[in-house]
Structures are given as C-alpha cells and as structure tokens.
Amino acid sequence: MNRLSSSVSLHPYFKAYPGKLDAIKGMLPRFVAKTATEKEMLFYEFSWNGDELFVAKLTKTPKACSRIS
C-alpha cells in the first residue's frame, strides 16, 4: 500500500493581526522543529499570501493529524 493512501492532510489558514506579522513569522521555525520529531508526521510547513498564513500538515494517520502540534 502506498504510504500516502491512508494519510491525512490539514490546510487551515489564518489572518495576522496588523503589526503582528513579524512576531508570527519568528515563531514558525519552532513549530516546524517541534513536529520534526513526531514519528507519524510526513510534512508540516507554512506559506504566506500577504497577511494570510497557510498551514500544510500531512500525517500518516487520522489519529496523528488530530493532535495539536
């Protein structure tokens, strides 16, 4: 079975408050580093469109995806 066939992905997005963009960007590497040690994490990253933050989280199982990282 392909390892992605049972995987789960979440793609929430958030809008940054005015003046908070730099503070938020400064925290993101810590979130990525924290998830790097999780066995069932396949991908966890962020992208931006102006003041909108997009999160991409891909895990091996639904149970792993339900945990807050």
Distance CA 69, CA 64 (A): 10
* Structure confidence at residue 3 (pLDDT): 59
Residue 4 pLDDT grade (very low, low, confident, very high; cuts 50, 70, 90): low
Q: Flag whether pLDDT at 68 surpasses 60.
A: no
pLDDT at residue 1 greater than cutoff 60: no
**49 conformational bin, left if phi > 0, alpha if psi -120 to 50, beta if neither:** beta
30-60 per-position pLDDT tens digit: 999 988 888 888 889 999 999 999 999 888 8
Task: In whole angstroms, give the CA distance from residue 29 to residue 31.
Answer: 5
**pLDDT of the residue at 64:** 73
Assigned architecture for domain 8-66: 2-Layer Sandwich (3.30)
Residue 9: which residues within 8 A CB-CB, separation 6 or more? Answer: 43, 56, 57, 58, 59, 65
